[in-house]
Amino acid sequence: MKSIYFDNAATTKVDSRVLEAMLPYLNDEFGNAGSIHSFGQNAQSAVDEARNKIAEFFGARKQEIIFTSGATESNNLAIQGVVNYFVSQKQKIHIITSKIEHPAVLETFAEMKKRGIEVDYVGVDENGVLKIAELKKKIKDNTVLISVMYANNEVGSIQPVKEISELVKEERSKRTKDNLPIYLHTDAVQAVNYLPMNVEYLGVDLMTISGHKIYAPKGIGALYIRGGVKIKPITFGGHQEYGLRAGTNNVPGIVALAKALEIISIEQKKEIQKLKSIKDKLIKELENFENYKFNGIPEKQLPNILNISFLNAEGESILMLLDMDGIAISTGSACSSGSLEPSHVLTAMGRPAEWAHGSVRVSLGRFNNENEVLPFIKSLKIIIDKLRKMAP
C-alpha cells in the first residue's frame, strides 16, 4: 500500500518550488551574508529580498523581521528577550500565557518562574479556546507580556488573538508613560498556512513562525518584533539581525521561508477548500465508529487538524499499528518512563484521562488528497476493534 502522511502539524515535506528557490544558495551562491566580497554581497541581497517579501506578507517593516532557527528559538527570544529587558531595568514584572501552549512557550515560562518572575496561566473551554474573561481578570499593572498561541498544535483550536489584542489596547490606554508597557506575543506556527497573518489586523507585538510547518525546511524560523518593543538578545557573538540574533544567517533557509510564504499567499484559498473537504469526509466516515469523541469543533478549528479520542484504545498503540500499515498520524500522549501522561491540552479542555489516553491527531496538508481517507479509515477501524478486544 502507498504510505499516507497525516502528520503535517509535526512537519511538512519541502515543496519542490521552495527547494528549487533555495538550492542555488547551498551551491553556487554559497556566500556568507556577512562577507564584504561579491559572494557575500550576493547572499546578503538574497537575505534582503527575502526579508522584504516576508515583511510584506505580514504587513510589517523589514527591520521588524528577525530570522531564527525555528519557532522554539523565536518563542524563547520573544519571552526571555522581553523579560531580560525589564529585569535589567530592575522592574518587578508579571507575564501571562495559556495552559495549552507548545512546550517551547510553557517550559520557557516555567524557567522564567524559576528565575523569580511572576507567571500566570489562563484556561480554555471544552473546545480548547482561551477563556478571555479569565485572561482579563489576570492582567495586572505590571503585566508586560501576554503570550497566547494563534492556533493549537494538538487540537487545532483557533485562539481569539484579535480579541486579546483589543484587551491589551484597553489596558495600554489606562497606562501612562511612566508605567510599564504591555506586549502581546503569539506563536503562530500552526496558523500561517490558513489564517489572516497581518500584524496590524491582529494587533500583535511579537509573532513566531517556523519554516518546516509551511513546506520550507527545518532549521529556519522568524520572529516579528514590532518597532519600539523593549527586548534584549539571548544569544551573543555576532551583529546579525539588527543585533538581536547572533550567528551566521541561514541564507538558503531564509530564501525558502520567503518562497513558502509567497506560495501560501497565492494558493491559500484553494488549499483550505481542499483540506476542508477531506476533513469533512473523515468526519463522516468516523460516524461508523463507536465510543469516540472529537476534541475541538470544526467552526473553531484549523481546516487541517482533527483530534479524536477513542475509548478503550490507547493513542500510542493506534499510532504504532497504523505505522505498520504505512500511515503516519500522531498522539498527544507522551510516553515517559513507562507511564502515559495524558496531554496537557486535553486535560485543560476537561477531558477525563480515559478519553485523553485514546486521543490521536490527524493533520492534513498540501500533498494529501481525498483518496487517502478510505484506506486510512479501513485500517483505523480494524485497529480500534483489535485494541478494544485486547483491552482489559
Judged by CB, which is closer to ligand PLP: 182, or 189?
189
**CA distance linking residue 159 with residue 157, whole number of Å:** 6
The residue from 42, 54, 66, 70 that contacts ligand PLP (CB under 6 A) is 70
Q: Is 257 an interacting residue with respect to ligand PLP (CB under 6 A)?
A: no
Single out the residue of 51, 53, 102, 351 in contact with ligand PLP (rule: CB under 6 A): 102
Q: Which of residues 139-158 bind ligand PLP (CB under 6 A)?
A: 149, 153
Q: Which is nearer to ligand PLP, 120 or 154 (CB)?
A: 154
Q: Count CB-CB contacts under 10 A for residue 107.
A: 14
Residue type, 301: Q
How many residues does the structure list for the chain? Answer: 392
Nearer to ligand PLP (CB atom), residue 70 or residue 315: 70
Question: Are 352 and 341 in contact, with CB atoms under 8 Å apart?
Answer: no
- Pick the piece of the chain touching ligand PLP (CB under 6 A) from 187-195, 252-260, 314-322, 355-363: 187-195
| Least CB distance to ligand PLP at residue 187 (A) | 5
Does position 295 interact with ligand PLP (CB under 6 A)? The reply is no
Find the largest Cα–Cα distance for the chain: 69
All cell numbers assigned to 28:
553556487
Q: Could you give the angle at which helices 373-390 and 251-286 cross, rounded to 10 degrees? A: 70
Which residue lies nearer to ligand PLP by CB, 94 or 102? 102
102 vs 185 by CB, closer to ligand PLP: 102
For residues 301 and 195, what is the distance between their CA atoms, to the nearest angstrom? 11
Residue closer to ligand PLP (CB basis): 71 or 251: 71
User: Exactly one of 21, 79, 104, 202 binds ligand PLP (CB under 6 A); which one?
Assistant: 104
Binding mask 296-325 for ligand PLP (x = CB under 6 A): ------------------------------
> Do strands 94-98 and 143-147 pair parallel, antiparallel, or not at all (unpaired)?
parallel
Binding test (CB under 6 A) with ligand PLP, winner from 143, 147, 190, 333? 190
Burial of 52 (0-12, 13-18, 19+ CB in 10 A): middle
CA-based nearest residue to 158, from 103, 184, 197: 197
Using the rule CB under 6 A, give the single segment among 137-145, 186-194, 239-247, 299-307 that binds ligand PLP: 186-194
How many residues sit close enough to ligand PLP to count as binding (CB under 6 A)?
A: 12
**187 part of the interface to ligand PLP, by CB under 6 A:** yes
Least Å from the CB of residue 123 to ligand PLP = 18
Q: Which of 78, 164, 189, 373 binds ligand PLP (CB under 6 A)?
A: 189
Contacts (Cβ under 8 Å, ≥6 apart) of 248: 32, 33, 34, 238, 240
H-helix segments, the chain: 16-22, 38-58, 71-88, 103-114, 132-138, 161-174, 199-202, 251-286, 315-324, 344-348, 353-356, 373-390
Q: State yes or no: is 295 an active-site residue.
A: no
CA torsion, ordered 147, 124, 120, 68, to nearest 10 deg: -20
Of 149 and 254, CB closest to ligand PLP: 149
Catalytic one of 133, 283, 334, 335: 335
- The answer to whether 79 touches 147, Cβ cutoff 8 Å, is yes
Q: How far is the CB of 322 from ligand PLP (least distance, A)?
A: 20
Element (H, E) at 325: none
Task: List the catalytic residues.
Answer: 335
Binding residues for ligand PLP, rule: CB under 6 A, are 70-72, 102, 104, 149, 153, 187, 189-190, 210, 221
